[in-house]
Amino acid sequence: MSTHAVLLLAALSVMLALAASATSLLASREPRILRLIAMPLIGFAGLAAVAAGLAALILGGSVTTTLPLGLPWMPWHIRIDALSGLFLLLIGLVTSAIGIYAPAYVRDFERGRDSLTALGGFTGLFLTGMLLVVLADDAFLFMVAWELMSLSSYFLVAFQHENAANRRAAFLYLLMAHIGGLAILLGFGVLAAFGHGFDFASMREATLSPGWASLAFALAFLGFGMKAGLMPLHAWLPEAHPAAPSHISALMSGVMLKVAVYGFIRVVFDLTGQLQWQWGVVLILIGSLSALMGVLFALMQTDLKRLLAYSSVENLGIIFIALGLALVFLSTGHALLGSLAFVAALYHAINHALFKSLLFLGAGAILHSAHERDLEQMGGLLRRMPWTGSFFLIGSLSISALPPFNGFVSEWLIFQAALQAWQLDSGVLRSLIPIASAVLALTGALVAATFVKVYGIAFLGQARSRHVRHARQGALGMRVGQGLLAALCVLFGVLPTQIIGLLEPVSAQMLGTGLPQAGAQGWLWLTPISSETASYSAPLTILLLALIAGIAFWWFVRRAPRRMRRRDPWDCGFAPPSPRMQYTATAFAQPMRRVFGMLFEIDESRPAFDDAAPRYRLKLTDRAWGLLYLPVMQAVEAASRRVVRLQSGNVRVYLGWTLATLLVLLWIIS
């Protein structure tokens, strides 16, 4: 395959996404068009993106072209290299699964009052925006695509706008998206001023002083970090992701957040030039805060989709910890370790896209069948939805970083990079990185506790409500979409050496070095640094687990009595167990809430002992609202009240303001 064929595949992906958007215009008259044409076109666009991304990674190098679009003096530039190829692959894998899942999921919307044209049209534009962000090779096209991505996803968050909470979440998301977009635009302005051009090729040739480079980094980190949902700029994420339809939530959490990671990598590692270790320290600190606080908030949630949204904050924090390690090692002359941390960040980005999309699709299947998001109302779903329960279990094990699933490999690589901190000369860095590693280890334990809670409460035990008790397995397309992502979670965990081989061209292009020693011992062993330092074999891990399970099964069968009679157990005279006797999600998280209670604003009311109808109430609030967002909101409201005084209704006052403005403008111009 030639490099021009890669461009054609990428162009085909964009055109199919636009075709899905255009086709949805007809859904207002014929609702089935959304299900039968628009959503399958989204899936085909994903397949084209997968083909383009794989071809770009395998062929290596880069291919560029200029489109006859844009402004007369600023046409749009397109470039596909290894980095954009990887993120095309990431977008395509998730989108392909959603293209299979969505037709059955959106069937229920055909009987509702919500606009199917809006759902299909903005989904196609959303995908188009993400694809063009990855393909853009100049700041102008990048920002146009970025705004297209943000605006179209705003309408998807507000899709069910009759709900006031959804309207509020959409407004908050749009506001913070535009603030982040402004920061990114200013960062490009700094690079363009020194590069004397808005195309990325000119920016790469620019020579920035450390101060200006740090300013560009700070603006990029603010803009892309806000879109990625890093603490404390995360407030929009747990509000917006649960409000959108579940397949859109999967796209936003699994893909859109990674597009923000792509933008950050493109600006910092590709365009700014000389890297500085201080940048890495900032990323490690903010990433550690995001990882720890994200998983703690996830553990406290009872809304399943909100829990998954907070979990995305945690995983994006892990990705930025790895990017921070890469910056520290690269800027201090440890290229191999920097490459290891960089590859680990990319690996975790694609892993998170897979297992988080899988979990959101599982949550959507539950919502579609049981019409429930509250964990306190679930229970026993594994019996009623065995396929969804099995796929959700794979996603839970993957996100908990348990071998042999994909989440374990990327987090293990991050730990391997962090454990090499002893090679740094700075005592401060040698102390900081082990502390961040300890935070990451604590985060991993809390993630496992979170998804033990989720799976145990939702899928095991007895149903806690009537509609959950009547839940049924979802349609075939929904099961196949989840199964595809579940299979990829297993594949990316079982074959890490081959996956790193795909990621190596990205590291070689961006950093000038790869990980040649990772597969030096053959496909069976992953040795990121050397075989003497650390090694991991996923296939042998699977064989060992299978052997242990076989021995346990053999022992159980051998020891079991040959003739077994089944009788009801003696219950000591008590009533049979009921759903009310089960542990609740709130009760499961109570010990952790007591330990980390100072990090939350807790409003808890316990029933009195003699209360005839006891009712327990708990409300957890993010302290970031009171410390950061509410003061800003109050300041804006106070300023707005003062500005209103200008609207006095007196014509002479208006003429006076007009004259004063004219005089100021004349003074500035002259």
- Read off the pLDDT of residues 67-78 as tens digits, 9 standing for 90 and up: 888 777 788 899
Q: Is the pLDDT of residue 151 over 90?
A: yes
Q: pLDDT category, 520, cuts 50, 70, 90?
A: low
- pLDDT average, residue stretch 184-209: 89
Closest CA to 298 of 323, 325, 316: 316
Q: Are 121 and 43 in contact (CB under 8 A)?
A: no
- pLDDT average, residue stretch 235-258: 91
- 64 — phi, psi (to 5°)? -130, 155
Higher pLDDT, 197 or 480: 480
Alpha-helix runs per DSSP H in 460-584:
466-469, 476-494, 496-511, 538-559
Q: Is the pLDDT of residue 609 over 80?
A: no
In a domain, 234, yes or no: no
Domain total in the chain: 1
- pLDDT average, residue stretch 251-258: 94
Closest CA to 457 of 304, 314, 238, 294: 304
Closest CA to 429 of 438, 418, 440: 418
- pLDDT average, residue stretch 554-565: 66
pLDDT given at position 223: 93
Judged by average pLDDT, the poorest of 180-189, 268-277, 639-648 is 639-648
In a domain, 29, yes or no: no
In a domain, 669, yes or no: yes
Alpha-helix runs per DSSP H in 528-648:
538-559, 585-595, 623-624, 630-644
Distance CA 89, CA 347 (A): 12
What is the extent of the structural domain holding 647? 627-670
* Chain segment 80-136, per-residue pLDDT in tens: 999 999 999 999 999 999 999 999 888 888 777 778 888 899 999 999 999 999 999
Q: Are 172 and 235 in contact (CB under 8 A)?
A: yes
Q: Is the pLDDT of residue 287 over 70?
A: yes
Distance CA 667, CA 657 (A): 15
Indicate the helix (H) or strand (E) that contains 442.
helix 427-459
Find the largest Cα–Cα distance for the chain: 103
Q: Are 360 and 482 in contact (CB under 8 A)?
A: no
Q: Flag whether the pTM goes above 0.85.
A: yes
pLDDT given at position 18: 94
Burial class (CB in 10 A: 0-12, 13-18, 19+), 252: buried
Burial class (CB in 10 A: 0-12, 13-18, 19+), 462: middle
* Chain segment 309-359, per-residue pLDDT in tens: 999 999 999 999 999 999 999 998 888 999 999 999 999 999 999 999 999
Highest mean pLDDT among 189-198, 568-577, 636-645, 661-670: 189-198
Q: pLDDT category, 206, cuts 50, 70, 90?
A: confident
pLDDT given at position 156: 93
Q: Is the pLDDT of residue 51 over 90?
A: yes
| Helix, strand, coil tally for the chain in percent (to 5) | 75, 5, 20
In a domain, 663, yes or no: yes
Q: Which two tokens stand for residue 159?
A: 């899709």
* Chain segment 3-19, per-residue pLDDT in tens: 778 899 999 999 999 99
pLDDT given at position 379: 85
In a domain, 662, yes or no: yes
pLDDT given at position 426: 81
618-624 contacts, C-beta under 8 A, 24 or more apart: 618/586, 620/297, 620/300, 620/593, 622/235, 622/297, 623/599, 624/231, 624/232, 624/234, 624/235
* Chain segment 412-442, per-residue pLDDT in tens: 999 999 988 888 888 888 888 999 999 999 9
In a domain, 641, yes or no: yes
- 250 — phi, psi (to 5°)? -65, -40
Counts for the chain of helices (H) and strands (E), in that order: 27, 4
Q: pLDDT category, 574, cuts 50, 70, 90?
A: low
Q: pLDDT category, 258, cuts 50, 70, 90?
A: very high
pLDDT given at position 265: 95
Distance CA 256, CA 154 (A): 12
Q: pLDDT category, 450, cuts 50, 70, 90?
A: very high
In a domain, 665, yes or no: yes
Amino acid found at 95:
T
Q: Which two tokens stand for residue 310?
A: 């907070």
Torsion of the alpha carbons at 575, 576, 580 and 582, rounded to the nearest 10: 120
- 205 — phi, psi (to 5°)? -85, -5
Closest CA to 85 of 140, 131, 151: 131
In a domain, 227, yes or no: no
Q: Is the pLDDT of residue 565 over 70?
A: no
Sign for the pseudo-dihedral over CA of 58, 59, 62, 68: negative
pLDDT given at position 340: 92
